[in-house]
Chain A
Amino acid sequence: MSPDAAVDPTPRPGDFDTYWSAVLKELGELPAAVAAEKIPLRSNEFSTTYGLRFTSIGPYRLFAYLSVPVGEGPFPTLIYLARYASTVEVIPQGDADEKRGRFAVLSLAARGQRNADHPWTAPFPGLLTEGIDDPRGYVFRGIVADCCRAVDVALSLPEVDESRLALLGANDLPLLTAALRPAASHAIATPDLFHRALERAAHTQAYPLEELNDYLRLFPDRRSKVAATLAYFDPIFFAPKVRATTLLWGEEPECESLSRALAGPSQLRPSEKSRYKDGLFQEEWLSRGLGFEDAILPAHWRD
């Protein structure tokens, strides 16, 4: 029995490991076939930016921005995994651009997101329930594979310092990816998409969880199927394999059991409802974790 089974109402699927092993096997049998093209417009005096194309399961051709610091590598690397939105930027909005002179940065466009939206464009809202009746056809089976593929691609680059690799994202995906691709040294996640998803959806009318409410309102007889699919994606079941040092954004008690279940060192931190305060903490946590005494901050965050 999982240590959290008594707390979490969603049971761990009996074939959980088999399900994900099959995904990784499928991914492993498919060449990534990486192609890189320099993007002069997004390159500058301290970094060079490339557009990468590579293949994930499906097969599906993905995209990522890769920014590499000027100078001698390898460099500590930040991988920004798919956020719940259509757009992907070179570096997240608001981050000091100068960070690209210190870190290699890979920003993934998973299937359906911009630049990876052919032949399929992800709907927003709608992505969370795309194919949700069947775990084998659920779109996030592919998106999680896309995240793993992004790690594979990063690790194949000589510019990447394999010992300092951070997975970042404002959802659960860094946890799932860190479990399936344990090379990551650090992870920052906000488990607000899949952790106890149905339970939390019942107490909110805010999107994206409202997508689940919409779906079950229209198809109430599919609740058990939806619950069964979501169980394959709850980070609580990935946590015992997450060895990365993890910063978990979330509230107690909702995320306490998840934080405790993580195999590696972790810190659960509630938001201060200030993007400045939260952002400052995260930048300093990440910089220290990757071996730097100082964080590179945007101008308005400096004292």
Chain B
Amino acid sequence: MAQPTPTVRPDDFDSFWDDILDAVESLPLNATMERLPLRSSPEVDVYEVHYDSLDGVRIAGWYCLPVRRDGPLPALLQLPGYLQDPPIPKAVARDGYAAFSVAPRGKVRSRTQFDPGYPGLLTHNITDRNTYTYRGFYIDAVRAFDFLRNRPEVRPDRIGLTGSSQGGGLAIAVAGLRGKDVRAASAGAPYLCGFMDAIRLTRTYPYQEIGDYLRTFPDSAPAVRATLGYFDGICFGPRISCPIIVNLGLRDNICPPETGYSLFDAIGSPDKKLYPYDGCGHDAGRADHDSVVCAFFAKHLKGEEGESDVA
């Protein structure tokens, strides 16, 4: 399944992102939290959160805390799929984590200042790395991580990342951008990895948005390729140092598994494990893999050793 990828890591990839991280470092989060009685339960307190991100865009998220807690909590940042409306992560909080589910720019509740739409978000300003959608989108996810890291009820050294599809791609990006501050990450069916391979390997949305764009503006191909190099999860791979698990569906019709293999090869962490699921599509074996993810985070964030097959 693994095959050579044409994804080329730009020579200035690290400096591009380090400059952006430096720029946002001085921006205060100005986070607000409002407890929502409608969504809270006897077991879980639910808060609606807003904070500032790149370009002054206000970002929303759901924050869930177990009502009963003793001392600082391990935390999980839950990252959303491309079309997914970020869910309220009550189940994660019931499992003993501080859980944050972020809505990066353009999603419901984070779209008043930036809203290229669906379809459309994937190609918005795709010929310019300095204004491309995912420059801000990735930083919104990084700032969600920072939100958790700054919470007094959270253990800052026990924060994990989890997501599937675009959520998997965002987990890769945040793990690369926050490096050693991330304790563990799980990426399922990662999107945003091997963009240019994906549009060759499959003709399905959402990658098809790029195909549509290149068909309409064929002269833009070099600029598109150049921009995407700065946002490709494969290029973030060498910056990842935390324990990480990646699960793929070998019949994935949305995020081709070939791109997942290329990503996995590029991940720099020595503590990495790949879970390929035959006979599975974009679910990437979720029905079986959920227990692996639970055990993985229990080990790395809670310090529990289980019997499950974990990295």
Contacts and interface: CB of A to CB of B under 8 A. Distances in A.
Question: Do A and B come from the same complex?
Answer: yes
B251 A300 contact: yes
Given A89-B119, A97-B203, A205-B91, A300 B252 contact: yes
Contacts of B118: 87-89, 114
B15 interface: no
Given A42-B119, A298-B204, A300-B256, A94 B212 contact: no
B216 A41 contact: yes
Interface string B33-76: 00001110100000000000000000000000000000000000
A40 interface: yes
Interface stretch (B138-146, B225-233, B280-288): B280-288
B300 interface: no
B212 A41 contact: yes
Given A214-B38, A301-B251, A97 B205 contact: yes
B127 interface: no
A274 interface: yes
Interface in A217-272: 217-218
Interface stretch (B6-14, B82-90, B180-188, B264-272): B82-90
Nearest to B82: A93
B202 A40 contact: no
Which one of A40, A87, A91 has the highest number of Cβ atoms from chain B below 10 Å of its Cβ? A87
Contacts of A279: 253, 281
B29 interface: no
A161 interface: no
B251 A94 contact: no
Interface string B283-307: 1001100000000000000000000
A210 B205 CA distance: 29
Interface string A194-221: 0000000000011100100111011000
A92 B213 CA distance: 18
A151 interface: no
Given A275-B280, A298-B204, A93 B83 contact: yes
B213 A93 contact: no
Given A41-B216, A85-B84, A301-B251, A91 B205 contact: yes
B218 interface: no
A84 B41 CA distance: 23
A276 B253 contact: yes
A94 B205 contact: yes
A218 B90 contact: no
Nearest to A95: B204
Nearest to A297: B253
B139 to A, nearest CB: 22
Given A90-B119, A205-B90, A298-B253, A96 B203 contact: yes
Contacts of B85: 85-87, 124-125
Nearest to A93: B205
A277 interface: yes
A298 B250 CA distance: 13
B208 interface: yes
Nearest to B258: A300
B188 to A, nearest CB: 12
B108 interface: yes
A86 B279 CA distance: 30
B124 to A, nearest CB: 12
Contact of B279 (A92, A210, A276): A276
B206 interface: yes
B168 interface: no
B257 interface: yes
Given A41-B216, A44-B215, A215-B38, A275 B249 contact: yes
Contacts of A205: 90-91, 94
Contacts of A87: 83, 85, 118
Interface string A268-292: 0000011111010000000000000
B83 A89 contact: yes
Contacts of B117: 114-115
A299 interface: yes
Interface string A69-91: 00000000000000001111111
A300 B280 contact: no
B242 interface: no
Interface in B112-145: 117-119
B204 A275 contact: no
Contacts of A214: 38-39, 41
A4 interface: no
Given A125-B87, A210-B90, A276-B253, 5 more contacts: A125-B39, A206-B91, A274-B283, A276-B251, A300-B250
27 contacts: A41-B212, A41-B213, A41-B216, A85-B84, A86-B107, A87-B118, A88-B118, A97-B208, A121-B108, A125-B85, A125-B87, A125-B88, A205-B94, A207-B88, A213-B41, A215-B38, A273-B283, A273-B286, A274-B281, A275-B281, A275-B282, A276-B251, A276-B279, A276-B281, A298-B202, A298-B203, A298-B204
| Shortest 5 CB-CB contacts between residues of A and residues of B | A276-B281, A275-B281, A298-B253, A276-B251, A273-B287
